[in-house]
A and B are shown apart, each in its own frame.
Chain A
Amino acid sequence: MDNDGKAANNGQLVAEARNDPAAFVQLYRGHYDAIFRYCVHRLFERQTAEDVTSAVFLSVVENFGRFRGGEQQFRNWLYKIATNAVNNHLRQAARRNVLLKRACEQVNNQDSTDAPAEKLALLKEAVLALKPRYQTIITLRFFENLKLTEIAEVLGSSPGTIRSQLARALAKLRKVLATEFIKKSEVTKNEQ
Chain B
Amino acid sequence: MNNDQRQFEKFVRGIKFDDRPDPKHRDRLEQNLLAAMAKQTRQKQEPLKIWRIIMKGKITKLATAAVVILIVTLGITFIEKSATPAWAIEETIEALKETDCIYISGFINEKNGSSGEFKQWARPNKARTRSGDCRMEDPDGDIWVAIERENITYEFDRAENKVHVIKGINAVMLGIWPDGDFIRKLREKAKDWQERYGKDEETKRRCVFITAKSSSLQESWWVQVDLQTKLPVRGKQWNNANFEGKPWIYAKEIIFNPEVPEAIFEFEIPDGAKVVYDEE
Contact = CB atoms under 8 A, between A and B. Distances in A.
A-B interaction: yes
Interface of A: 21, 24-25, 28-29, 32-33, 36-37, 40-41, 46, 50, 53-54, 57-58, 61-62, 115-117, 119-120, 123, 138, 141-143, 166-167, 170-171, 173-174, 177
Contacts of A50: 22, 25
Given A170-B8, A171-B4, A32 B19 contact: no
Contact of B34 (A25, A33, A41, A120): A25
A57 B33 contact: yes
A21 B37 contact: yes
A46 B22 contact: yes
A41 B19 contact: yes
A119 B11 CA distance: 8
A61 B17 contact: no
B4 to A, nearest CB: 4
B16 A117 contact: yes
Nearest to A51: B25
B11 A177 contact: yes
A115 B14 CA distance: 9
Contacts of B15: 116, 119-120, 123
B218 interface: no
Nearest to B31: A25
B21 A58 contact: no
A143 B29 CA distance: 23
Contact of B11 (A28, A117, A123): A123
Contacts of A120: 15-17
Contacts of B263: none
Q: Per DSSP, are chain B's interface residues mostly helix, strand or loop, or mixed? A: helix
Contacts of A166: 5
- 9 nearest A-B pairs in the assembled complex, by CB-CB distance: A170-B4, A116-B16, A36-B21, A120-B15, A61-B36, A33-B21, A37-B19, A40-B19, A50-B25
Interface of B: 2, 4-5, 7-9, 11-12, 14-19, 21-22, 25-26, 29-30, 32-34, 36-38, 40
A53 B34 CA distance: 15
A118 to B, nearest CB: 9
Nearest to A33: B21
Contacts of B11: 119, 123, 177
A148 B15 CA distance: 23
Given A37-B21, A116-B14, A116-B15, A174 B4 contact: yes
B25 to A, nearest CB: 5
Given A21-B34, A171-B4, 13 more contacts: A24-B34, A37-B21, A50-B22, A50-B25, A54-B29, A57-B33, A61-B33, A119-B14, A123-B11, A142-B9, A170-B5, A174-B4, A177-B11
Nearest to A117: B16
A76 to B, nearest CB: 20
A159 B1 CA distance: 14
Contacts of A119: 11, 14-15
A54 B9 CA distance: 29
A163 to B, nearest CB: 10
A83 B23 CA distance: 22
B26 A32 contact: yes
B19 A174 contact: no
A167 B30 contact: no
Given A120-B15, A123-B12, A143-B12, A29 B2 contact: no
